[in-house]
Structure 1
Amino acid sequence: MNDANSVVMECCDLSKSYSDGKHTVDVLKSINLSLMLGETAAIVGASGSGKTTLLNLLAGLDLASSGSVSLAGKDWSSLNDRHRSKQRNKELGFVYQLHHLLPEFSALENVMMPMLIAGKKKSDAKEKASNLLSQVGLVERLSHRPAQLSGGERQRVAVARSLINNPSCVLMDEPTGNLDENTALEIQNLIKTLQSTQNMAFLIVTHDEKMLSWVDSAYRLSLGELEKIK
């Protein structure tokens, strides 16, 4: 952890309910979470426990029924859609279980994309994307399209893409869930390496309890409630 006083992401008494007119379902109940710069945290929970809903709220993709979520000091509810998108692109990186790479673009072009969306120069984006792909062991794969890459390689491209804008936090949704055990271990080791070299926070949502052995802090989400377990 780089700065014990630097809170990157925080949610206070976060709750989310859905109503179909007759019934109200409480998906999340009074969630409290604080993530520091340089910290790697994991949230484990079974399918249906509310992990995806929580991630969407943390990323500002959905708004809470009550409570608050702030990222880099800004409360999502205080921003309009355009400013939320801008804040998300600047401060957040995303890695999903399915890599979500654009099939018609090369690995290099996929990694460049968030930087180009942010309005940065193409030459700068190309140089940075090349460096990041080299860091994740794909220096020989820059011109390959996703269909020409293995599952582990595609996920490495997705990890590189998540880092391109120097986010303060990277959210990972089951980053090893679609991979075989050996490839999952490679991605896990990559995350550990990046944690020690990048000045950012990582929040990993997973059902893989083995992740808990090396993260800084861990939580269990069950029946909409979050309990700190490490």
Structure 2
Amino acid sequence: MFDLPKLNTKDVVSEQEWQLRIDLAACYRLVAHFGWDDLIYTHISARLPNTDHYLVNPFGVAFDEVTASNLVKVDLHGNIIDETPFQINPAGFTIHSAIHEVREDAHCVLHLHTNATIAVATQQDGLLPLSQYSMFSLSSLSYHGYEGLAVNDDEKQRLQQDLGNNNHLLLHNHGALTCGPTVGDALMRMYDLQRACEIQLLIQSSGQPTIKVPQQILDGIYQQANVVHSGKTGGQKAWPAMLRKAYKLDPSFAS
């Protein structure tokens, strides 16, 4: 049994940073609760307001072990800022740093390898307009081709170009990414994308013909979805409930 070092970061950071640490740690715990984690791999990062510093998970720590105190503060190049016994996975931060570098609005970036998102990202036609959940994602979705492990800096520019101004990204043969102005927005966008992919796979596995949504309705729903996910509603409305859920599951994340 290897116990994790116990840290108390609350006394050495600002109140604003501590609240962000709580939100991000809660997000890691919720991702683990939903079964979207991948052992110690994949990442959720959050930008500290008015800085080029970011919080990310310590490498080697499971998502259900992440706490507000053991999150690691890094710069855009993955250099660790504050003293900590933990390291980060520089390769894993490559994707996040690419998005943070060009998207001022993307204060939180969530990248996962779930079965459903990998399966749909690998299909030739990608995500289809088969459910209401897919409408939320399709209104702001793009794709990025597979280039092997995301460890090369020269892939960053292509990743940035592929995401553009969208908030949902399916990475072929790899997984999914969402971003948002808050942790709650990024999480709820991933929730919609994950559900859309799960439902698509269920429908396809049934072998039954699908009901097509008329294009004029699709266009109207995409407009509505963009309003819902503009940052005024959506994740920010749902986040307080999700935070309460995280406390009920295990309040240790807030330590």
Q: TM-score of the superposition, structure 1-length normalised? A: 0.32
Of structures 1 and 2, the one with the larger relative CO (CA 8 A, separation 6+) is: 1
Q: TM-score of the superposition, structure 2-length normalised? A: 0.30
- Structure ranking higher in strand proportion: 1
- Structure ranking higher in helix proportion: 2
